[in-house]
Amino acid sequence: MKLKKETAHEQFKKYLKQKKHRITSERFEVLDFALEYNGHFGADDLYIQMKTKKSNVSRATIYNTLELLANCELLAKRNFGDGLTRYESSFNRKNHDHLICINCGEIIEFTSTKVQKIVDEMCNELGFENAGYSFNIFGKCKDSKSCKNIK
């Protein structure tokens, strides 16, 4: 017997009900745009994209909804050392880590069983239940000629 996978809309609606937040079409519009966004984005990036596509959702609704989506684990909040909060979809995605170039800001995603093993071992050793982690490596692109938009 196959278990039905919960959709993002179902997960978000259940979260909103549990936390006694209003269920609005604008929040689900933000959800759809956020899950369709290619890569990492800030609230203002999403706002601009939504306005470009003729959305009437306010900037405040976007900011508030992104926080709700992160709290219910449909989005992951990321900080890449530049003081900006970015988001990316975590719905039906495997955990991954990031290499960040401090010259051009390029972000390269990678997965490593070695990193996951270290996280699991540390949690086990310290009696900690892993609810997720974020691993960022800051460095410089090896080939400075191919480095994008050097600051």
Q: Tell me whether domains 8-91 and 94-143 share a fold.
A: no
Considering only residues 87 and 145, tell me which one the structure prediction assigns the higher pLDDT: 87
146 has pLDDT over 70 = no
Q: What's the CATH fold of domain 8-91?
A: Arc Repressor Mutant, subunit A (1.10.10)
Could you read off the pLDDT of 14-24 as tens digits, one per residue?
999 999 999 99
21-61 tens-digit pLDDT = 999 999 999 999 999 998 889 999 999 999 999 999 999 99
pTM for this entry: 0.76
pLDDT, average across residues 72-84: 85
Helix ranges restricted to H, 1-151: 8-18, 25-36, 43-52, 59-71, 113-125
- Domain limits, the chain: 8-91, 94-143
What tens digit of pLDDT does each residue of 92-130 get? 667 778 787 888 888 887 778 898 899 899 999 999 988
Residue whose C-alpha is closest to residue 87's, from 142, 139, 30: 30
* CATH of region 94-143, choose from 2.40.128.630, 3.30.1490.190, 3.90.1860.10, 3.40.50.150: 3.30.1490.190
User: What is the C-alpha to C-alpha distance for residues 56 and 148, in angstroms, rounded to an integer?
Assistant: 34
